[in-house]
A and B are shown apart, each in its own frame.
Chain A
Amino acid sequence: MDRERSPKRKRSPDGLARFSTPERPPHSPISAQQSPGLQPRSFLAADVEEPQFDDVQAAYHQQHEELRQNEVYESRSPSVNGIQKSASPPRERQLGYKPKLILRGHKKGVAQVKYSPDGRWIASCSADASIKIWDSTTGSLLQTLEGHFAGISCIAWGPDSKTIASGSDDKSIRLWDVETGKPHKTAFTGHHSYVYSLSFSPKGNMLVSGSYDEAVFLWDLRTAKPMRSLPAHSDPVGAVDFVRDGTLITSCSSDGLIRVWDTATGQCLRTLVHEDNAPVTSVKFSPNGKYLLAWTLDSCMRLWNYVEGKGRCVKTYQGHLNRKYALSGCFGVYGTKPYESAFVASGSEDGRILLWDVSSKILLQSLEGHRGPVMSVDSHPAERAIASGGLDRTVRIWRSDEPIEQTFAHEQLADETSEEVPPDMRAEMAEMAEMEQAAQEDREQGSEQEMEVDG
């Protein structure tokens, strides 16, 4: 179907191969020497064949040395000038995420994977115009949502974990009931081109969408009508996101700008632009909403403090390969409770998933498994697990063997009982922790070999 496309649309390869930018001079040491067969072909235009991944892999190996150097440089950076970080807890230098599940079923590349806010489900959307809902622990397929007429670039979970919004290349946004698998009867129409990004407001009453038509729309979910159009950008909008309390929206575009908007008034409050002006393909608020993480096509991810002054880039993460696709990633948590630290995770076009420490920029782990660009990475809202989706049509789940007692289940218990835990309660807690540990060991034994699940 895609071969019938007019040449005009070729410049705008839909879905995943969003921003091909041959005209932009590369600024980072990694040169964009990729095999000539790969560059102009969008992922959708020719449902990517296996050999192409080998091309990518070959390209990766060519650049491997350079990447290595980068990594070395990165790990050195915190102790430059002899100033060693005097952070109280010793930070881990490595993380132990291991492949656990491979979910197959999509007929074309996976554009985005998202954990539901309650952590029970993983939704994945694909260029094959379907959305699949998987159980996040067992990996069994719950639903396949079909109804869009073209590839789906983005999905977003409603805060109640019962609805999913999807944005497609057929220019529409649809809402789906996860339990029944049925779409809501009215599609959200208004965009003039492919919908690239979606985000739910924390209350679930609004939806923000970014599109190839350069517009950002704020939708009233109840009436399915656009409430407000934000005169955002002069190039396709790569991503939009709501801050955790819903008062701010961020959007980014391949014009190199990241903008922050006031939800209530629709006014632009801040514009962030890096000197290099590289196309920004993805942007995300940090879990506490104080920072913005942005992916740019110069193979960098930048963390911005958007509040201070006129906005300041505080961290640059490098090591992955990102020249062509709108990759996205997530924030995650590691370490034990009082000294929890955060990592950022991103896919890479060479098939790896990279995890950096937020503050020190040390590469904590590099996960290999995907055969082809990893488009999207998302972390479990409570547990130590991440999900990834790539152009090799698979969704993969990775879990860390970090002892689970520091994580969510016990956090809550601890919060409720505060500091003063009665002794009998303490015994109970210890018992529970023990049981948990045993269960964890069982689980590990059971899943020694990584499981494969067919959807």
Chain B
Amino acid sequence: MNLALVDPFVLAQDCPEAMTGKLRSGHSSCIRFNHRGDYLASGRAEGTVVVFDIETNGVARKMRGHTRQIQSLSWSSNDRYLLSASQDCKCILWDLEDGTRIRSVRFEAPIFIAEIHPTNHLMFITALFEQQPVLVDVTDEIPKKCTLPSVPKRSQAEWEKLSTRQQTLDEKQTTTVAVWSSSGEHVLAGTSRGWLNVIDTRSRQIVHSTHLSSNLIVFIRLTASGRDMVINSSDRIIRTVHLPDFTDPKTDFDNLRIEVEHKFQDLVNRLSWNHVCFSATGDYVTASTYMNHDVYIWERRHGSLVKILEGPKEELSVVEWHPHRPFVAAVGAESGPIFIWSLLTPQRWSALAPDFHEVEENVEYVEREDEFDIQPLEELHKRRLDQEDEEVDVLTIDPGKADFNPGEFRMPVLLDLDASDSEDEVIAIGTGQYRRKSPGRGQQWMNEAEAVENADDTAGGRKAAINGISKAPNGTKRRRAD
């Protein structure tokens, strides 16, 4: 409801300007905004999943279950469930209502990426290290895993033209990244040899393949509409692609042509890109760079570089754009803080004193004819009251995007989360004195987690450990105001 009052020039900006904040809870390795844009999930290097509240910049939840670095995070469409994938070969589906695990699924290899199905939160797709991608259905306690193919679909003639060596290489391809199309009827998968496969979810067959790059495809991200795709490849080029409407029954997958719209690259420095993502509307593409401190932003209409966001003195790994606002978050690769870029909003001084006007240059004041006439107060008062004859509606609510529907999921606010910053590497030992925390402190839970892990996995069931509420045994850093 603040939009009517905010400076229109500020509202017109759709690209962040400057670094405005920093979030910190341990060493973050991966971040993801929820769909509403009020929470930011962060996976940490030691396996904890933390959910930040963007409004308060505080930790809203903390969930423990992984033992190694989190690789990817994915929110369900109603923002109630969060899927985390880790290098410890596990995927965990969390219920944010109470912070419990709904399912924990183990794989044979570390996981690159795991994405929740857009409509069914009990289904997800994973891409594994040097293995075939897996479609997982966790409706039942025992997960159903279906392996999906990676070998690109070629016509018979094409296949015969290949040399034997090429054929064997083709066979050995693995999928490095897999995401859902917007409807969830198809999976878009990138392979280690630069192919993009479109896989039908129901038949689990590749219906279309396009060769995009000669190198490995690192990452794929779609816009909210699902019609645009950005691809990061290890050949140091970011490609954007306009996708056809897969849900259209008339789509002919055999004669589909997927054309690259733009190629973004740094020809001078030969920069390679750590992570790419779309802006809220899809008008911009942003990327973090390998061995470099900046965040690059290109606009898609002309394909030009519009901004380089000055970063901290740290390489940035994952970069994410807020789902509605010009607000970018990126993870520092070395020490794991989350940096935030957004708009700078200067205070308008005329808002503080309504009888003051901001003028560009001096204006000669013209006195109104009756300005200093003395009028009886009573009469003025009466006249003023008489003028108040308009109809006023204080009840009708204009529908707005940010409005909350009663049926929507709302994460409960936990008040006893006092371990929120206890896992920082510095702890207070006296007034104004801090020391680095000894390594390994506060990781006791890991052993416990390991102990119950087997039972946990076979049953695949709900473990009673309610994360985030359990208190950390280590010393808490407390800074009380006064």
Binding site for B on A (CB under 8 A): 27-29, 77-78, 80-81, 83, 85, 87, 158-160, 163, 175, 184, 189-190, 201-206, 220-227, 243-248, 259-260, 262-265, 267-273, 286-291, 303, 306-307, 310-311, 313-316, 331, 333, 340, 342, 358-359, 361
Contact = CB atoms under 8 A, between A and B. Distances in A.
Given A189-B481, A269-B351, A316-B385, A227 B345 contact: no
The binding surface of chain A is classed by DSSP as: loop
Contacts of B6: 262, 269
B390 interface: yes
Given A83-B389, A271-B352, A342-B394, A175 B55 contact: no
B395 A314 contact: no
A223 B4 contact: no
Contacts of B414: 222
B404 interface: yes
A203 B38 contact: yes
24 contacts: A85-B391, A160-B412, A203-B410, A205-B55, A205-B56, A206-B55, A220-B56, A221-B56, A221-B413, A222-B53, A226-B481, A227-B58, A243-B1, A243-B2, A248-B1, A268-B347, A269-B351, A270-B354, A272-B354, A291-B392, A303-B394, A311-B354, A316-B384, A358-B392
Contacts of B1: 243-245, 247-248, 289
Contacts of B388: 77, 313-316, 361
Nearest to B390: A314
B377 interface: yes
Contacts of B482: 189-190
A333 B395 contact: yes
Interface residues of B, number: 54
Interface in B466-482: 479-482
B426 to A, nearest CB: 17
B354 A273 contact: yes
The binding surface of chain B is classed by DSSP as: loop
Interface of B: 1-2, 4-6, 38, 53, 55-60, 345, 347-348, 351-355, 377-378, 381, 384-386, 388-398, 400, 402-404, 410, 412-415, 417-418, 420, 479-482
B350 to A, nearest CB: 8
A359 B58 contact: no
B391 A268 contact: no
A259 B2 CA distance: 13
B385 A288 contact: no
B395 A223 contact: no
A222 B420 contact: yes
A29 B380 CA distance: 13
Nearest to B20: A265
Contacts of B60: 205, 222
Nearest to B60: A222
Contacts of A158: 413
Contacts of A290: 393-394
A331 B2 CA distance: 21
Given A222-B414, A223-B56, 14 more contacts: A77-B385, A202-B404, A221-B415, A222-B417, A224-B415, A225-B479, A225-B481, A267-B347, A267-B351, A270-B5, A291-B394, A303-B394, A307-B4, A359-B391
A251 to B, nearest CB: 13
The residue among A163, A175, A244 with the most chain B CB atoms within 10 A of its own CB is: A244
Given A245-B404, A272-B354, A289-B1, A206 B56 contact: yes
Contact of A331 (B351, B394, B403): B394
Nearest to A74: B385
A203 B413 contact: yes
Contact of A245 (B57, B392, B400, B480): B400
A227 B345 CA distance: 18
A399 B417 CA distance: 41
Contact of B394 (A80, A190, A204, A358): A358
Contact of B5 (A27, A248, A286): A248
Contacts of A331: 394
B396 to A, nearest CB: 6
A342 B395 contact: yes
